[in-house]
Amino acid sequence: MLSRGWRPAVAPRVAGWSVALSVLLLIGNVAMATTGAVAAAGSRFTQGDQRSPQPLPNNVRPTLADAARDREVLASDGCTLSEVAVEPRTCIFGNPSGQVTVALVGDSHAAQWFPALNQIAKQRGWRLVTFTKVACRFVDMRIYSRTLKREYTECERWRTIVVQRLVALAPALVIVGSSRGMAPMVAADGDPKRQGQAMARLLRPIKSRIAVLVDTPWWTSDVPTCLAGHQRDVRACDVARPVALGWRHGIAERTAVAGMGATLVDMTNAICPSDPCRAVASNMIIYRDSFHLTATFAAALAPRLSALLPQPGTR
């Protein structure tokens, strides 16, 4: 590249015309190369600008009108407890008479995987039991409820009961999921590594094989609302992958797994395989809000999730 103060050297007289010609040819080659590089870069930029708009598919699933309500059945049948509830409900899915029992445990970010897990349970003949509670991260920590605007003591009581139930039930596999967006009562507990250690500590009494789900990417806005305003080009609702993942992504889960010899289940690349993360893929709306999968998209990921789950057994 030519520097700002560059000036062509004067050819020595002793070299004659051959040296002068060589210098001129060198300058010409550099200029052509520089011009070519700039032109190529400009061409790539222009091509990127001229991509055709990507309208919302006519056959998109769920429909845009239904997307915000496209939730797993646990949210409507009372199996996912509200903030004030404490006593876990007995909820059994898959094959209720199956010989292999598998448990799904955690907050709504665990519950969002139910459509896929229920499919897997039916295919494999598992008896699927669920223990889920709104905004209750499955970690041995005091946490704050943004809804109740106080310490979430109901979560702590619920977690204690669930661990006791799991110890007594002794499922062959426990699948755990938690949102990374918790508000701890103690500032130091905002460290995702400490949160992972707290998850391992809570799960340690359970002797079942354990799989920990990495939390899903987060959007910067409500996806159905964004799509409603950009139906002619849904790319406006895509999010840069580093933004969707954030710096905390997977840290707590990897720490928990390392602390108890569990299996890490990371579905990130199934949800966001490239940069940017898409709001619509394979004619499906991916999110029902800014951080929960639509039940339709979650169900479609059953084969990918099934391939990553460990075989039920004991630790």
CATH of the domain at 197: 3.40.50.1110
Residue 39 lies in domain? 13-49
Residue 261's pLDDT is 87
Based on the domain organization, do 17 and 92 belong to the same domain? no
Map residue 87 onto helix, strand or coil: coil
- What is the model's pTM? 0.83
Based on the domain organization, do 165 and 298 belong to the same domain? yes
**What residue spans of the chain are helical by DSSP H?**
16-49, 108-111, 114-124, 153-169, 192-203, 223-229, 241-245, 251-260, 268-271, 295-300, 302-308
Of 312, 129, 109, which is closest to residue 207 (Cα–Cα)? 312
Q: Per the domain annotation, does 165 fall within a domain?
A: yes
Based on the domain organization, do 137 and 100 belong to the same domain? yes
Distances (CA, A) of 104 to 35, 82, 117, 179, 226: 60, 17, 8, 14, 31
Based on the domain organization, do 140 and 37 belong to the same domain? no
Based on the domain organization, do 96 and 205 belong to the same domain? yes
Based on the domain organization, do 24 and 87 belong to the same domain? no
Q: What is the mean pLDDT of each run of 10 residues along the chain (315 residues)?
A: 36 37 37 36 31 94 98 95 96 97 98 98 98 98 97 98 98 97 95 97 96 97 98 98 97 95 97 98 98 98 98 77
Buried b (16+ CB within 10 A) or exposed e, 166-191: beeeebbbbbbbbbbebebeeeebee
48 contact partners, CB below 8 Å, separation of at least 6: none
Based on the domain organization, do 253 and 221 belong to the same domain? yes
Q: Is the dihedral of CA 159, 162, 168, 169 positive or negative?
A: negative
Based on the domain organization, do 98 and 161 belong to the same domain? yes
Assign residue 78 a region (left: φ > 0; alpha: ψ between -120 and 50; beta: otherwise). left
- The residue with tokens 């997307």 is 67
- Whether the CB-CB separation of 191 and 202 falls below 8 Å is answered with no
Based on the domain organization, do 27 and 128 belong to the same domain? no
Task: Look up residue 264 and give its two tokens.
Answer: 């890490």
Domain tally for the chain?
2
Q: Return the percent helix, strand and coil in the chain, to nearest 5.
A: 45, 15, 40
101 contact partners, CB below 8 Å, separation of at least 6: 126, 127, 128, 129, 169, 170, 171, 172
Q: What is the DSSP letter of 8?
A: P
